[in-house]
Structure 1
Amino acid sequence: MKKFFFQYPMLKRIFFSFGIVLLFLIGRYIPLPNVDISKSSVVANSSLEVASAVSGGSLANIGLFSLGLGPSMYSMILNRVFALGRRRQATDSSQQKKQMIVMFLVAAMQGLGIAASLTYVAHPILQPIQLIALTTFLLVTGSFILMWLGNLNAAYGMGGTTLIMFISIVVSQFRAVPILVEVVASPKIMYAVFIMVWTLLSIYVTVIFDKSEYRIPIQRVSIHNDFVKKAYLPIRVNPSNGMPIMYAFTFLALPQYFLILLSYLLKRNALLQYSVYFTPRTGIGIVIYVVLVLLLSYSFAFVNVDPVVLSKEFRVSGDFIKDVRPGKPTQLYLARYIRFFGVFSGVITSILLSIPLILFLSDEKLQDLTPLSGIFMMMTGMVLMIRDEVVTSRLRRKYTELFEGN
């Protein structure tokens, strides 16, 4: 068996990822102690459930992994955005420590908000406040376990944390199938057809954006043949991939968790009515959602293609862009293109996301289907990311075979 896996390391990684997915699915349905399962759904609002599913969580069925990877996602993006453009980069251990602290604080806030809204079975020893504290501890622990499983999958499997989020979204979308069937069987069938066609168009644009790139010609000092004319630096038309949509949903969920917690602490359920402003089911919510997508598209463009790092790499290698001086001028030159494609892809993505949301804003039944374009754009981006990882991992085996005959 070891010899078999040694010959086919890709299968070993696939089997490992399958095991991680299995553990994730089991953990999703591990119930929390003393929680009334029949009344365990936190919200009837599907927007918060979608936001939770995007990060690997589940609020429809409260379990060990209900928080998902949301706290980890918050801490990662904040850590990376604040590190942009810094001349002195923090050490890996220092960055990891800060990220863990931020993750714990966010997880504690979200976990406490969920725990405070649950219904508990009477316990002979523990008081209600102790049950809430215990549930919060288990939810926070589950989030850290899920992050650990994602890191294991990144090291020994395929897809990292992206695979966990992808499976979570797929499982959560099973609930949309009966709604789609009901709408198709009703007089609103043409509206459902429009949403499905628009979703297919969104997937097509996502794939085209992934394949398209702008090529900046580079003069490489290490090349002294005809290939010097073919050297270039690629910048994807959508440098942020599907990450802005994923993180926009996650960021919209944070104030909703905060309002749930605040309403419990202040004993004012009226505060929950303000959560509609952070869902794409109202005009204001759609505006906030689109603004978040635009800002995150711009930010992730610079996170994924950092002009500061690229300009430093050019100076170290001696490579340069024709008619552009090294150092700061190169950095500004690259930043201009990254900024343009970040804004361009953000605008196109926002249009694809917002059109169905705006058209069917007044129809409650169709509102359950309008997020499909964004959800499938995310899933397409995840599949493309995992595919790129598979292709990259197979390159090593191909190059190994190249030298086996020597």
Structure 2
Amino acid sequence: MKEKTHLVRNRCLFSIFIIFIYFLCHRVPLNGIDMSAYDNLGLDLGAILTLAVNGSNKRCYVMSLGISPYITSSLIISIVQAMRSKESKARTSPKAMNYWITAISFVVALVQSIFYALELKYMDSNMMSVLLVIFELMAGASIAQYLLLKNKKYGVGGFAPIIVVNMTESLVAIMFGSTFVDLRIPLMISLIMVIIMIFMEMHEKRIPLQRVSVHNVHAEKNYLAIKYNPVGFMAIMFGSSIFMIPQLLFGLLHYFYKDNESLTWLYINLNMSKPFGMCIYIGLMFIFSILLALLFINPKELSEDLLQSGDSIVNVPAGKPTRRYIRKWVLLLSFISTTIMCTCLAVCLYLQYKGIVPSTVAMLPTTFMMLSGLLCTLYLEIKAYRDFDSYKPFI
């Protein structure tokens, strides 16, 4: 009899190794930067939203870009793929997908590196110093992406270990740097949101299916499952990346056209501390979350797959009625989950804007909400590996 594969143990150990490497590397400072200017830099609201993928609100480290270029490029490719026909998807190899993700990651990293480098404070500001920092930032993003890809292949959670390091580090810094009075309201909201998030992540809507190939006691266990939170914590994380795009665009335009009043107003107000930026962010989050659910859980493809296999939803005719039925549930579940998350965001932003809680702790509920969703995903993946590892080969 063959030995067990020990899949869970090996993958978890590899992810721990990736965490250790990333933890050592992500605090290496950039060359030529005046580090004293960042010693007492606090966490603003916009920085907290991107800490999960960037790793730090202080843009003075080699890995300040974190995995945000890769996540942004993956999102772009996923949206493009979701909009293509099934035949076009079948003709696209995983190698080609990885090529395009890498190419777009390079462009995003370059744009972000230029934007970051122009905003940094240097010991001796000159063109060579700026170019060196741009190169270092892009190198740091490449290292982070390499670690992420290796963990996706050999570890657990994909990009989860890197995000766990970033979020845990930021949470520890916030908790130890704040008083109980400041933390009281955010922690109460966080507790409520964590319970809601775990419930939505661990439960699903099961749509019963009638399969032509199953006519036994197991037929009643056939169903189409849609999570109560269809896109999970991904919407919050990707939403932050989406919000960064207009910020980067107007930031670059403002740098070259500083006399333009409209660009100056947009540059100043398009952030999380201004009402305009708050409204734009929540609006983008709401629309983006629902669109993401429809792209990742494509009702058209699901209905076509059921039609081709001869299967159907119980008491629902095949074809367009099935598509409308699936779309109804995807829209309903995504609307409910998105409304809950956006309400939490709006409450946090309101508390910060009115000065009820400091900006450094205002987004704690969002951070805990993302972390709980991430841990649920990790748990389900490890559970799947454990179930696979529990089978003992007998041939």
Structure 1 length-normalised TM: 0.87
The Cα of 1:98 is off from its aligned counterpart by: 2.8
Question: Where does the alignment leave 5 or more consecutive residues of structure 1 unmatched?
Answer: none
User: Given that residues 242 and 378 in structure 1 are in contact (C-alpha distance below 8 angstroms), is that contact kept between their aligned partners in structure 2?
Assistant: yes
Structure 1 residues 144 and 309: CA distance shift in structure 2, 3 A: farther
Q: Which moved more, 1:368-377 or 1:32-41?
A: 32-41
- Are 2:210 and 1:212 aligned? no
Structure 1 residues 192 and 42: CA distance shift in structure 2, 3 A: closer
The Cα of 1:300 is off from its aligned counterpart by: 2.4
Aligned pair count? 389
**How do residues 7-406 of structure 1 correspond to structure 2 at under 5 angstroms?**
8-39=6-37, 46-60=44-58, 62-87=60-85, 88-89=88-89, 91-92=92-93, 93-122=95-124, 128-181=126-179, 184=180, 189=181, 192-266=183-257, 274-363=266-355, 366-398=358-390, 400-401=391-392, 404=394
The Cα of 1:193 is off from its aligned counterpart by: 2.2
Cα deviation 1:273-332 (Å, max 9, x = unaligned) = 644533332322221222122122212212332223322332343321134343444233
**Structure 1 residue identity aligned to 2:37:** K
User: Given that residues 43 and 359 in structure 2 are in contact (C-alpha distance below 8 angstroms), is that contact kept between their aligned partners in structure 1?
Assistant: no
The Cα of 1:342 is off from its aligned counterpart by: 1.2
Structure 1 residues 268 and 58: CA distance shift in structure 2, 3 A: farther
Cα RMSD (Å): 2.7
Paired with 1:360 and 1:142, the residues of 2 have a C-alpha distance of: 33
Paired with 2:260 and 2:67, the residues of 1 have a C-alpha distance of: 27
Q: Which moved more, 1:380-389 or 1:223-232?
A: 223-232
User: Given that residues 209 and 222 in structure 2 are in contact (C-alpha distance below 8 angstroms), is that contact kept between their aligned partners in structure 1?
Assistant: yes
The 3-state SS of whatever aligns with 1:369 is: helix
Q: Which moved more, 1:358-367 or 1:227-236?
A: 358-367
The Cα of 1:260 is off from its aligned counterpart by: 4.0
The Cα of 1:55 is off from its aligned counterpart by: 0.8
**Structure 1 residue identity aligned to 2:174:** A
User: Given that residues 44 and 359 in structure 2 are in contact (C-alpha distance below 8 angstroms), is that contact kept between their aligned partners in structure 1?
Assistant: no
Q: Which moved more, 1:384-393 or 1:7-16?
A: 7-16
Q: Which moved more, 1:272-281 or 1:164-173?
A: 272-281
Q: Which moved more, 1:169-178 or 1:236-245?
A: 169-178
User: Given that residues 298 and 339 in structure 1 are in contact (C-alpha distance below 8 angstroms), is that contact kept between their aligned partners in structure 2?
Assistant: yes
The 3-state SS of whatever aligns with 1:160 is: coil
**Structure 2 residue identity aligned to 1:207:** I
Structure 2 length-normalised TM: 0.89
The 3-state SS of whatever aligns with 1:33 is: coil
Paired with 1:269 and 1:25, the residues of 2 have a C-alpha distance of: 42
Structure 1 residues 11 and 226: CA distance shift in structure 2, 3 A: closer
User: Given that residues 33 and 121 in structure 2 are in contact (C-alpha distance below 8 angstroms), is that contact kept between their aligned partners in structure 1?
Assistant: yes
Paired with 1:26 and 1:157, the residues of 2 have a C-alpha distance of: 18
The 3-state SS of whatever aligns with 2:178 is: helix
Paired with 1:359 and 1:260, the residues of 2 have a C-alpha distance of: 27
Paired with 1:273 and 1:146, the residues of 2 have a C-alpha distance of: 34
User: Given that residues 215 and 235 in structure 1 are in contact (C-alpha distance below 8 angstroms), is that contact kept between their aligned partners in structure 2?
Assistant: yes
User: Given that residues 235 and 289 in structure 2 are in contact (C-alpha distance below 8 angstroms), is that contact kept between their aligned partners in structure 1?
Assistant: yes
The Cα of 1:195 is off from its aligned counterpart by: 2.0
Structure 1 residues 14 and 313: CA distance shift in structure 2, 3 A: same
Cα deviation 1:36-62 (Å, max 9, x = unaligned) = 222357976623422331214323262
The Cα of 1:374 is off from its aligned counterpart by: 0.8
The 3-state SS of whatever aligns with 2:225 is: strand
User: Given that residues 297 and 345 in structure 1 are in contact (C-alpha distance below 8 angstroms), is that contact kept between their aligned partners in structure 2?
Assistant: no
Paired with 2:357 and 2:176, the residues of 1 have a C-alpha distance of: 12
The 3-state SS of whatever aligns with 2:362 is: coil
Paired with 2:259 and 2:108, the residues of 1 have a C-alpha distance of: 22
User: Given that residues 40 and 119 in structure 1 are in contact (C-alpha distance below 8 angstroms), is that contact kept between their aligned partners in structure 2?
Assistant: no
Paired with 1:69 and 1:178, the residues of 2 have a C-alpha distance of: 26
Structure 1 residues 151 and 172: CA distance shift in structure 2, 3 A: same
Bigger relative contact order (CA 8 A; separation at least 6): 2
Paired with 2:159 and 2:278, the residues of 1 have a C-alpha distance of: 28
Paired with 1:14 and 1:201, the residues of 2 have a C-alpha distance of: 30
